[in-house]
């Protein structure tokens, strides 16, 4: 997201492990309130939309809430599949950037109950894309470079890796679980909205993350 001035960011799933670390980084805070390891130049606002499922913990952002709550940080307990609520957030906060972390991501859970993964990862992503496209009035005839939809995905969309080798962005998709298939579907939707409607997008295919 370098090169763009971030103003009003909608972070989905911001109470989760990665999302909360991202928000703490934006506000240059660690989870304990100490200064982060790098200075942040962000001076805009963050709206954190999280449904607070088993993976979300608002305490991850207690220091951000204490210092910036109601001024530059706003929490919305919202399901990303709720069209009316997502549209309200775009209007109320004049969102110009989406950083989309929210997802069902537990592989074993996807085997036991794949429906929720399709609902959140596919339908929820579609809802965000469609709301962004309409609110930003983006089309191939009306391109914009002052808005951005950043989608966080997984390397599992590429399938299984053997003892040697590596994946690249050119590796063919080969999902092997309902989870990875749902994320592959959301990736394709994001890329389709770029090619069809000119929606400015970036996409990260992350491996497993760890840390505090």
Query: Could you tell me if 92 and 45 are in contact, meaning their C-beta atoms sit under 8 angstroms apart?
Result: no
Annotated active-site residue 155? The verdict is: yes
Q: Which two tokens stand for residue 60?
A: 């991850």
- β partners of residue 208: none
Annotated active-site residue 96? The verdict is: no
Annotated active-site residue 59? The verdict is: no
Among residues 76, 79, 104, 156, the one annotated as catalytic is 156
Question: In whole angstroms, what is the distance from residue 113 CA to residue 55 CA?
Answer: 16
Among residues 65, 82, 87, 155, the one annotated as catalytic is 155
Q: Which residues contact 120 (CB under 8 A, 6 or more apart)?
A: 80, 81, 102, 103, 104, 182
Among residues 50, 73, 76, 179, the one annotated as catalytic is 179
Question: In whole angstroms, what is the distance from residue 11 CA to residue 19 CA?
Answer: 7
- Residues catalogued as catalytic: 155-156, 179
């Amino acid at each position: 997201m370098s090169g763009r001035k971030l103003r009003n960011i909608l972070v989905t799933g911001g109470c989760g492990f990665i999302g909360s670390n991202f928000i703490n980084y934006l506000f240059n805070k660690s989870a304990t309130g100490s200064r982060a390891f790098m200075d942040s130049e962000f001076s805009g606002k963050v709206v954190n939309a999280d449904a607070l499922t088993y993976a979300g913990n608002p305490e991850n952002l207690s220091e951000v809430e204490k210092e910036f709550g109601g001024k530059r940080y706003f929490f919305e307990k919202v399901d990303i599949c709720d069209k009316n609520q997502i549209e309200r957030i775009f209007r109320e906060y004049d969102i110009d950037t989406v950083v989309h972390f929210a997802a069902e991501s537990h592989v074993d859970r996807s085997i036991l109950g794949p429906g929720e993964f399709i609902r959140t990862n596919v339908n929820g992503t579609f809802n965000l894309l469609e709301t962004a496209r309409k609110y930003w009035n983006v089309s191939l005839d009306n391109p914009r470079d002052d808005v951005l939809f950043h989608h966080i995905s997984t390397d599992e969309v590429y399938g299984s890796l053997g003892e040697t080798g590596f994946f690249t962005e050119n590796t063919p998709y080969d999902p092997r679980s309902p989870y990875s298939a749902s994320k592959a579907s959301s990736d394709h939707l994001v890329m389709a909205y770029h090619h069809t409607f000119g929606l400015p997008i970036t996409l990260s295919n992350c491996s497993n993350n760890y840390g505090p």
